[in-house]
């Protein structure tokens, strides 16, 4: 006759669940399976969209905007005056960038972006937002103790550098224009765009590396 060991059952339960994806991942997978099963979308289409936002629509678009601003003073001025209009020159406009604002880092100012209420993000130019950007810890601490948060990202700022934190909303989103690193004279737009990081356009990265690509 079989016996039931509650402690053993609990141990097996914990073991099984420790190997399951997170709740959000499970919900996304369940939703994807449902829409594919009902013929609303093909799984290949979902894969192509994920690839597009991760590799093409993603940070590479924002990097091109930054690189152009480093090379073209006229474009830089237009970008800082009205970023939503300026990026139309690339054809990147969309609902996520309809009210985009660009803020630039300087030798004495560092900008950092957060969305304290949810996770509003200009995905049309920066792609999918990183998990930490959506976390409650980042959203709360970026406002209260930005220097400490930046330090955890490896950005240690001296007291002579002011930190400005910009709170995104559904109506106003931000892109940080990092400083162009020294040693990039003569580089073309493609080479410059290749060294621009996603985090530098959020403000959790500051000193870009002038490494030839």
Report the catalytic residues: 115, 118-120
Contact 65, 92 (CB under 8 A): yes
Separation CA 175–CA 5 (nearest Å): 57
Helix (H, G, I), strand (E, B) or coil at 125: helix
Q: Are 105 and 181 in contact (CB under 8 A)?
A: no
* SS3 sequence of 50-90: HHHHHHHCCHHHHHHHHHHHHHCHHHHHHHHHCHHHHHHHC
User: How many CB atoms are closer than 10 A to CB 130?
Assistant: 16
Contact call for residues 177 and 103 (beta carbons, < 8 A):
yes
Cβ neighbours of residue 53 under 8 Å, at least 6 residues apart? 123, 127, 128
How many angstroms separate the CA atoms of 16 and 88, rounded? 50
Residue 58, phi then psi, degrees to nearest 5: -70, -150
């Amino acid at each position: 006759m079989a016996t039931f060991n509650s402690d053993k059952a609990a141990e097996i339960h914990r073991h099984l669940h420790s190997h399951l994806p997170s709740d959000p991942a499970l919900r996304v997978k369940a939703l994807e399976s449902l829409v594919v099963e009902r013929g609303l979308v093909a799984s290949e289409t979902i894969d192509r969209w994920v690839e597009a936002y991760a590799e093409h629509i993603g940070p590479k678009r924002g990097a091109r905007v930054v690189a152009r601003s480093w090379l073209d003073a006229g474009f830089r001025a237009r970008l800082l005056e009205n970023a939503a209009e300026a990026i139309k020159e690339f054809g990147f406009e969309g609902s996520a960038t309809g009210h985009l604002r660009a803020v630039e880092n300087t030798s004495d100012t560092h900008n950092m972006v957060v969305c304290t209420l949810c996770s509003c993000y200009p995905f049309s130019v920066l792609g999918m937002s990183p998990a930490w950007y959506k976390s409650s810890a980042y959203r709360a601490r970026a406002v209260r103790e930005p220097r400490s948060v930046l330090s955890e990202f490896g950005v240690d700022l001296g007291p002579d550098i002011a930190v400005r934190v910009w709170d995104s909303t559904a109506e106003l989103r931000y892109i940080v224009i990092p400083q162009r690193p020294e040693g990039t004279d003569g580089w073309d737009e493609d080479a410059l765009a290749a060294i621009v990081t996603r985090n530098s356009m959020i403000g959790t990265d500051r000193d870009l590396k002038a490494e030839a690509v």
